[in-house]
Amino acid sequence: MIRALGVLLAAAAAAAPAWAAPGTISVGLAAGASPDRVVWAVENATGGKVVRRLGSLHALVVEVRDVDTAIEAARRLPGVEFVESDEAKRELDFVPNDPLLPQQWYVPAIKAFDFWPEKPELAPVGELTPVIVAVVDSGIDGDHPDFQGRILVARSFVKTPPNVDSVGHGTMVAGEIAAALDNGVGIAGVAFPAQLLIAKVVGPDGSISLDAEARAIRWAVDRGARVVNLSLGGPRNPDNPERDTFSELEQRAIDYAVSKGAVVVAATGNCQDVCPYRYASYPAALAHVVGVSALGPNGTTPSFSNRDAIYNDIAAPGQGIVSTFPLALSDPSCDQPGYSICANVEDYRRGEGTSFAAPLVSAAAALLLSVRPDLEASQVVDILERTAVDIQDPGRDKQSGDGQLDLAAALTALSGPIPPADRYEPNDDAGDRAYTLWGSSRTVEATVDYYEDPTDVYKIRLRAGERAQFKLRGPEGTDVNLVLWRPGAENIEAFPPRGLVAKVANKPGPRELLRFTADEGGWYYLEVKLSKGAGGPYRLTVEKTR
Residues with catalytic roles: 137, 169, 355
Nearest CA-CA partner of 474 in 520, 411, 541: 541
> What is the C-alpha separation between 46 and 54, in angstroms, rounded?
19
Taking the C-alpha atoms of residue 266 and residue 356, their distance in angstroms, rounded to an integer, is 10
Work out the angle between the directed axes of helices 358-371 and 377-386 (0-180°, nearest 10). 120
Q: Could you tell me whether strands 227-230 and 131-137 are parallel, antiparallel, or unpaired per DSSP bridges?
A: parallel
Question: Cα(455)–Cα(448) distance, rounded to whole angstroms?
Answer: 7
Classify residue 499 as exposed, middle or buried by CB count within 10 Å of its CB (0-12, 13-18, 19+).
exposed
Q: What is d(CA 531, CA 73) in angstroms, rounded to the nearest whole number?
A: 65
Residue type, 535: G
Distance (Å, rounded) from C-alpha 280 to C-alpha 294? Answer: 12
Distance between first and last Cα of the chain = 97
Euclidean distance between CA atoms 153 and 220, whole angstroms: 10
Element (H, E) at 428: none
The count of C-alpha atoms lying within 13 angstroms of the C-alpha of 412, restricted to the half-sphere facing its C-beta, is 12
Give CA–CA dist 280/290, Å, rounded. Answer: 11
| Residues 55, 33: Cα–Cα separation, whole Å | 12
What ranges make up the beta strands (E) of 144-288?
Answer: 151-156, 194-200, 227-230, 263-267
Distinct helix (H) and strand (E) counts, the chain: 11, 20
Strands of the sheet containing 467-473, edge to edge, are 441-449, 535-545, 467-473, 511-517
Q: Identify the helix (H) or strand (E) that includes residue 82.
A: strand 80-85
Asked if 289 and 256 touch (Cβ cutoff 8 Å), the reply is no
The sign of the dihedral angle between the CA atoms of 191, 353, 392, 95 is: positive
With H, G, I as helix, E, B as strand and everything else as coil, classify residue 522: strand
Helix (H, G, I), strand (E, B), or coil: what is residue 300? coil
Q: Is-contact 232 286, C-beta < 8 A?
A: no
411 — phi, psi (to 5°)? -70, -35
